[in-house]
Structure 1
Amino acid sequence: MSEFINNVSRRKETLKEALRQIHAGKPYEEVKQTFAEILQQASAGEIAEIEQALIAEGLPVEDIQYLCDVHVAMFRESLDQQTPPQMMPGHPVYTFNAENELAALQLNQCRQLLGQAQDNPKAETLAQLAAALQKLAEFDCHYERKENLLFPFLEKYGFSGPSSVMWGIHDDIRKAWKSMRKQLQDAGADPSAALAAVSEKFIPMENAMREMFYKEEHILFPNALERLNASDWRAIHAQEPDFGFAFVVRGAQWPPDEQPVEIETAIGDAIINKEKQERMNEMNEFPLTTGDLTLSQINLMLTHLPVDITFVDENDIVRYFSETPTRIFKRTPAIIGRKVQNCHPPASVHKVVEIVEDFRAGKRDSAEFWIQMNGMFIHIQYFAMRDVSGNYRGTLEVSQEISALRKLEGEKRLLDD
């Protein structure tokens, strides 16, 4: 098989065949032995591209997610030989890796406290374990930054495989966090049974998190550094505070300072251009169905509505979201230009696809949901947008927190205090 090692295209096809055999049920050790020589040559980029190619060929994302750890195990010898890139404090990759190191320590503490609680299942030890698991769940902002910042930028370069597979694993970990905390909260008079349930969830959750640390360091981040340019990383860096950081304070050494003259020039140009654009927005009026408005007025109206708005065009591309003062669901500029299918977890994306396809086919004009989240009662509506000829032009999502509205009774006149 050595004739394939220096032929990248043929090597990828051979590696794909190895994964296909795994998915078909062939014993892992047998496949690894057959393809041992070529497996040692696989790079992080090839592994990610192969999984993405298998998805494109129709292999369900759920199947790849289920066997993701097997894939990594097959290539681990090759990946261990590759030196992870070193970044400066403040670079998004450096921050991601620092969070992983501290999350590993938090996992160690949770495992230790779980053992102590099993040996001494009293209220105090259960409370300590619950607090440690609550602390661990703060790591969710790490996953949110991946899903809402890093993944969209990778998708712009046609690299969407990690978005589908990793997001599903994130959601499995989130479910385990929630379930374990609920078990401890409801322990009541039978703490031993609660601890047994927690232990059953903890082991696969811990394995999933630690495997994700490895996949990020050896596959995701090297691929991201290879594809994204300095401007992309700066854009990610600028939007990271919207989601926060887990266990760390972001470093300040990156991005490196520019020359003072260049900064001054850039800032000056930006101010001039912004002022010019604002003047143009104020001057130019656009004729609407029932009036004329400037761009500034339109923008002010959209940002002052008591609802969150997101617009997806007829090609399923996210084109706009309103930046209201208190958004319910986080949005960042990184999602503009992203396929709406990539903006939702794998477990629920099929519902979004069904709604959009029904809108496109004219089977329905709206869809309505309501959920309870973090003490809020959220009303979500989707509307099909059609032009005067009835052609589908996109989908409008409107979300509103309506807890206060649901409590209204009687009436209040306009001039009442």
Structure 2
Amino acid sequence: MSEVINNREHTIKNTERQTVLKQIFVDLHNGRNVDEVKAHFNAFIGKITIEEITQLQHDLMEEGGIPLDDLQRLYAAHTDIFRGSIEEAESTKKPENEPGHPIHTFIQENHELDKLIKSKVQIHLQQFIQEDTAENVYKLLEDCNLLLDIDKHYSRKENLLFPYLEKYGIYGPTNNMWRIDDFIRDGIKEAKRKLSNYDGNKQEIVNLVHFIMEEVINMIYREEHILFPMALKNLTEDEWVKIAHESDEIGYCLTSPAEEWKPERKQLGENAISEGYIKMETGILSLKQLELLLNHLPVDITFIDQDDVVRYFSHGKERIFARTKAVIGRTVQNCHPPRSVHVVEELLADFKSGRKDTEDFWIKFRDKYVYIRYFAVRDENENYIGTLEFTQNIDPIKAIEGEKRILS
């Protein structure tokens, strides 16, 4: 009986703490001074766990009482409030100290980013403030080029780490972080654009670079004190092995893994593909033949099922957009940046309702002209069973002239 009472008291305490934590966000939303809110937090909460932060962010998103844009601003403010107050979980094994482990690599990248900001960006920004010569503009532009390497760090986080957290029901931190990642990416690109076409808009650039530095440093803190400990607590060793294996496809930021990570136990073996055969209406192929055939198509294809879950993507030699095996089993909405999810939702709604059967887009992407086609896949009774995405670099096709009738 005493154990039941103690458990009930513990639950009440946790409920009260969550109520106080939610009120902190409401106070910030209503314009209360951050220093006052922090003093309130220190007085009534003191220390906070990763689990409480995760639950708080999840609850706020689910309840929907605060607009998403405001949640974004408040999420940035809470970094200052929680700084120094997060309880670190005790662990005898520290994967983040194992060279080659994905978290070790993430942290090494953060160290390089921190060093870049403090040893170059800050110094070059001060020189630019004092005198906006062509040389000082160029130094700052070079720094932004280096900073843009952060895209690889964020892409691995979003496309490899986030899917596994979502698998364990953890959505709040991932959605919020992705939004801030996009703000940082956009800020760096805008700074590059303004510096490349410098027309004396000095203060705009100063404000923008200050914003970038502050947000990058704050994101480093969020990752290392909230995201990474949360991931280390939830993900299995098998999942870390998969993340490490697929990270090369996306690339690394300003550095690379110190070495190949080898867990204490035997590495996961590659599952050999079955040699069984598939009988189709127009022929028979082994699974191996079918996979090779799909991977040799000069296009990228991705299939999502009727529940919007990614079930397959081809794996050709030169993919246009990065895909990792971690997206398999993930909803397509969570494979896109939050700011573009509404486009995905609208397209799928048109396909499911039968309003559309196809939709095409064409964009400039790096050095390619990319044609993206979407097809509603329906069975013989016109029931919607999924969507096929078909992506192709059409630059070589656009360059075709005349005729070719003989072997070259």
Please give the TM-score of this superposition, normalised by the length of structure 2.
0.89
**Conserved? CA contact 1:4–1:10, under 8 Å:** no
Find out whether 1:48 has 2:54 as its counterpart. Answer: yes
Question: Following TM superposition, by how much is the alpha carbon of 1:394 offset from its aligned partner in structure 2, in angstroms?
Answer: 0.8
Find out whether 1:305 has 2:297 as its counterpart. Answer: yes
Question: Following TM superposition, by how much is the alpha carbon of 1:77 offset from its aligned partner in structure 2, in angstroms?
Answer: 4.1
Equivalent of residue 382 in structure 1, options 357, 369, 374: 374
* 2:192 alignment counterpart: 181
What pairs up with 1:207-218 in 2 under 5 angstroms?
Answer: 207-218=214-225
**Conserved? CA contact 2:295–2:314, under 8 Å:** yes
Q: Distance in 1 between matches of 2:305 and 2:19?
A: 36
Structure 1: where are the runs of 5+ without partners? none
What pairs up with 1:5-404 in 2 under 5 angstroms?
Answer: 7-58=13-64, 59-79=66-86, 87-108=97-118, 109-187=120-198, 190=199, 193-252=200-259, 254-258=261-265, 274=272, 277-278=273-274, 280-281=275-276, 284-288=277-281, 290-404=282-396
Q: Relative to structure 1, is the Cα distance of residues 238 and 345 closer, same or farther in structure 2, using a 3 angstrom cutoff?
A: same
Question: Following TM superposition, by how much is the alpha carbon of 1:255 offset from its aligned partner in structure 2, in angstroms?
Answer: 2.8
Q: Distance in 2 between matches of 1:374 and 1:400?
A: 14
Q: Distance in 2 between matches of 1:101 and 1:293?
A: 50
**Conserved? CA contact 1:180–1:198, under 8 Å:** yes
Q: Distance in 2 between matches of 1:33 and 1:125?
A: 42
**Conserved? CA contact 1:313–1:393, under 8 Å:** yes
Query: Secondary structure at the residue paired with 1:319?
Result: strand
Query: Secondary structure at the residue paired with 1:78?
Result: coil
Question: Following TM superposition, by how much is the alpha carbon of 1:30 offset from its aligned partner in structure 2, in angstroms?
Answer: 4.5
Query: Secondary structure at the residue paired with 2:149?
Result: helix
**Conserved? CA contact 2:373–2:389, under 8 Å:** yes
Q: Relative to structure 1, is the Cα distance of residues 31 and 224 closer, same or farther in structure 2, using a 3 angstrom cutoff?
A: same
RMSD: 2.4
Q: Distance in 2 between matches of 1:69 and 1:32?
A: 14
Question: Following TM superposition, by how much is the alpha carbon of 1:149 offset from its aligned partner in structure 2, in angstroms?
Answer: 0.6
**Conserved? CA contact 1:318–1:340, under 8 Å:** yes
**Conserved? CA contact 1:61–1:165, under 8 Å:** no
Query: Secondary structure at the residue paired with 2:339?
Result: coil
**Conserved? CA contact 1:184–1:194, under 8 Å:** no
Equivalent of residue 408 in structure 1, options 392, 400, 403: 400
Question: Following TM superposition, by how much is the alpha carbon of 1:14 offset from its aligned partner in structure 2, in angstroms?
Answer: 3.1
Please give the TM-score of this superposition, normalised by the length of structure 1.
0.87
CA deviations on 1:313-339 (whole Å, 9 max, x unpaired) are 111110000001100001010110011
* 2:6 alignment counterpart: none
Q: Relative to structure 1, is the Cα distance of residues 237 and 38 closer, same or farther in structure 2, using a 3 angstrom cutoff?
A: farther
**Conserved? CA contact 2:129–2:206, under 8 Å:** no
Q: Distance in 2 between matches of 1:404 and 1:81?
A: 54
Count of residues in Structure 1 that have an aligned counterpart in Structure 2: 395
- Higher mean C-alpha displacement, 240-249 vs 157-166: 240-249
Amino acid at match of 2:381: S
- Higher mean C-alpha displacement, 297-306 vs 345-354: 297-306
Q: Distance in 1 between matches of 2:11 and 2:59?
A: 19
- Higher mean C-alpha displacement, 12-21 vs 144-153: 12-21
Q: Distance in 1 between matches of 2:170 and 2:218?
A: 21
**Conserved? CA contact 1:43–1:79, under 8 Å:** yes
Q: Distance in 1 between matches of 2:136 and 2:22?
A: 48
Q: Relative to structure 1, is the Cα distance of residues 82 and 205 closer, same or farther in structure 2, using a 3 angstrom cutoff?
A: farther
